Structure 1
């Protein structure tokens, strides 16, 4: 019996050897296919967008899809169960004041109305603790959001969280201060039901920081996150714009000219201390700030740098470089006892274009673009899309390399949107929109970094590969 089993296994071994030999011959003699370059990601138009305006009650909201899209599409504006509007025409600006006691405004768009969709809310107050212009780009639900600015000891900071998806989301709020990471008693972990919105006072998570960097990250689902800061002592109010993800090279655009305080916030989110090199990009060129060329940021903490005498008086941007990833933001405060505050933050280049959905000019109101080309020269096309009346002709703007250029927007009757598109051959361009208004009590001010337009998506290539089924 033992001999019979051994013979059977010997026969099986011979069969396997023969099959391997045949495979080797076939592989060696097969014709060699011409080498093909690996396909890259495909650029396709965005066909679905969701954005959340966090607190639009009694606030002016602008929503627009840039012209140029073809085919069918629709945009819907919802507050709770109520539909505020349905839009189906690209290039037409919807701009209205949202009724009081409205929850977050959910903007959903599909088809031809999705590519480039932009929404923004702006609130104007001329008295009280909330005096000022407070504007914010309506944000998308994402897995991670960074916000940088004053902490609860310097401002009343409220975090607005919305789960716009149909599944629950679990979000963790991480707060970094000048002394390092802050661990709250609750751990900063929140569960949001489908469609649920929630406001959180940052002082309940971290009571004492004067400055902070804050990350909202999800372990499940996606969350739209925004934060509003009401400065102590009646020093203005505004929303903190979303900061670009941590990187070793950060551009902070859209710093308005004029007098007042300019305070930089830099957070090191790595595990080691870092030195951050700071350069200013102005209309006259790029230069290191004397005596403030470097700022040391301990690991897991936030450092500040007063740049009032370095960049005050002229429009500018900042170029920050470091050895470890950082996030950054800046507070600009107007002059006088009733100066308003505005915030900008690290941003991405507008390689795919950018849209700002709410701007005003005329009657003591002013809107302008601050465009920066930190490397090679840039060139963009600017198109103004008014809420009513005909659109003026688009115009081109050249930005010299390593410089910032201020572009005044034309006087328009009523609200308007602005579309900025880079032209062929342009170097990377960063930007910000500054809007202000002169009132009896002083200057009202808000800024918004130009965000990359939601126009295109990069889809990875699909190829045949055994890696799909084999480790």
Structure 2
């Protein structure tokens, strides 16, 4: 064995000790592959982006962070939520004044331990977009809720959104450029380089022409609100917004503000699919409007059904919906729930054609009307969490549109005190239930709800948060898709012989 080979072995041994150098196992003779025995392990890093909450001087915004306790997670780690511009300052600290680091601003939220919510707040029109990073034990299933109260003015009421992971494509059916609406697309760039974004708008007759919606630059560590009315001169009651990123990645959400019916955040809908579920229509909804869009070249014909507490029913007069390719379709469903909890289920009447969809929901009457949105969502999967719940203002809706399911709902400790508690529920197939979610014993502050599927499914869920601010009733709805807190890791073993092969 020559000296070169010995050197390679020594280097490889050191590399294996530091990094766990490994190769994937080949399939064995039985046909079982390494992928088939892959383990699901907790993720070790999570990024979340929160849009600029409001342009109102009287806005008050609460941020609530929560990470469930996850078996197998790291013993170390940290999480914090801070202004996007502070991320930029941190990355350049130490490059000035002879290497002396600038002191960063205090994070808006910095949790101390998994299993207990951490809260922070901002106020006024100058509150910035936030960037959150969680590592180690804080990363698996990390969620942050942004909840804003606006007592008066355009879009007054309760506005809420889950802060989202950066991505490269987003669909928003349910936006509008009508005279009564003021809708913004909020883009947040968490990275050190600029992102370049295209925004396409689709109305009832197809693509809307725009000379300024292509190649929008979002500066590094910055949030950029873009008024939809400035992108087109053609007012549209129902609009589908498509955000695609040419370079980089962003977080995206639509803030929809109405002169008379308040406002809320419209989160991105689930990826285009042939069948869709929009869970948790409030039982006292006075108006429900369905907006759908088929992004391909083929028209879609959809069966419209409501998953009620007693089973799947077909709304009279709205049995089906025809969606022309490349065009936004909408239909008013009125008070479709008729005093009972419900979820809307769309399935193809024939061939499956991918669509995106969302609901615009109104509660109240006259001057007390308020608006929220329910985009189509992914199922709960293994586990999903929503933060910033209150003892009396939270309603958890769960639907199993196919077969029945058994779920476990855990209420975390409170942000200021209280003990976690869990409860198990059975959801019958084809139904929606407003479950009596547990509340932490001795609750002080707010708490998180975590939904886990014990058996059966798939299961879809949403949480409605209701509150009254200075006499103005408000509500907001957030879906509970799978938190992607674990990742599949194929079985592997060390194999240093690969360094000796020529």
Is contact 1:42–1:458 with CA below 8 Å preserved after alignment?
yes
Give the gaps of 5 or more residues in structure 2: 1-27, 55-59, 87-104, 496-502
Give runs of aligned pairs for residues 72-221 of structure 1, distance below 5 A: 72-79=76-83, 80-81=85-86, 82-84=105-107, 85-100=109-124, 101-153=126-178, 154-207=180-233, 208-221=235-248
Whole-angstrom distance in 1 between the partners of 2:444 and 2:283: 25
- Note if 1:59 corresponds to 2:61: yes
Is contact 2:149–2:469 with CA below 8 Å preserved after alignment?
no
Give the CA deviation at 1:361. 2.8
Whole-angstrom distance in 1 between the partners of 2:460 and 2:327: 26
Whole-angstrom distance in 2 between the partners of 1:77 and 1:310: 39
Shifted more, 250-259 versus 37-46: the winner is 37-46
Please give the secondary structure, in 2, of the residue aligned with 1:324: coil
Q: 2:381 aligns with which of 331, 347, 351?
A: 351
Q: 1:327 aligns with which of 349, 356, 374?
A: 356
Match of residue 49 from structure 1: 46
Whole-angstrom distance in 1 between the partners of 2:303 and 2:131: 40
Give the CA deviation at 1:461. 7.6
Give the CA deviation at 1:436. 1.2
Per-residue Cα deviation, 1:360-398 (whole angstroms, up to 9, x for no partner):
234xxx201100001111111111121122224211111
Count of residues in Structure 1 that have an aligned counterpart in Structure 2:
427
Per-residue Cα deviation, 1:289-309 (whole angstroms, up to 9, x for no partner):
222111111111111111124
Whole-angstrom distance in 2 between the partners of 1:197 and 1:443: 29
Q: 1:254 aligns with which of 280, 301, 305?
A: 280
Is contact 1:254–1:316 with CA below 8 Å preserved after alignment?
yes
Distance change (3 Å), C-alpha of 1:459 and 1:156: farther
TM-score, with normalisation over the residues of structure 2? Answer: 0.81
Give the CA deviation at 1:105. 1.2
Q: 2:261 aligns with which of 213, 221, 235?
A: 235
Whole-angstrom distance in 1 between the partners of 2:198 and 2:411: 40
Whole-angstrom distance in 2 between the partners of 1:225 and 1:459: 29
Per-residue Cα deviation, 1:304-342 (whole angstroms, up to 9, x for no partner):
111124324221111112331100100110121121001
Match of residue 9 from structure 1: none
Please give the secondary structure, in 2, of the residue aligned with 1:248: coil
- Note if 1:391 corresponds to 2:386: no
Per-residue Cα deviation, 1:77-110 (whole angstroms, up to 9, x for no partner):
2112233143341112111222542311111011
Whole-angstrom distance in 2 between the partners of 1:118 and 1:318: 25
Give the gaps of 5 or more residues in structure 1: 1-32, 465-471
- Note if 1:369 corresponds to 2:365: no
Match of residue 456 from structure 2: 426
Q: 1:382 aligns with which of 404, 409, 434?
A: 409
Match of residue 38 from structure 1: 33
Give the CA deviation at 1:346. 0.4
Is contact 1:361–1:410 with CA below 8 Å preserved after alignment?
no
Whole-angstrom distance in 2 between the partners of 1:449 and 1:259: 17
Distance change (3 Å), C-alpha of 1:460 and 1:321: farther
Give the CA deviation at 1:122. 0.5
Is contact 1:329–1:346 with CA below 8 Å preserved after alignment?
yes
Whole-angstrom distance in 2 between the partners of 1:88 and 1:389: 14
Distance change (3 Å), C-alpha of 1:320 and 1:462: farther
Whole-angstrom distance in 2 between the partners of 1:309 and 1:86: 42
- In angstroms, what is the RMSD of aligned CA positions? 2.1
Whole-angstrom distance in 2 between the partners of 1:87 and 1:95: 8
Per-residue Cα deviation, 1:164-193 (whole angstroms, up to 9, x for no partner):
122332211111111211131124321223
Please give the secondary structure, in 1, of the residue aligned with 2:164: coil
Whole-angstrom distance in 2 between the partners of 1:307 and 1:355: 29
Shifted more, 78-87 versus 58-67: the winner is 78-87
Give the CA deviation at 1:462. 8.0
| Larger of the two Rg values belongs to structure | 1
Q: 1:222 aligns with which of 232, 245, 249?
A: 249
Shifted more, 59-68 versus 387-396: the winner is 387-396
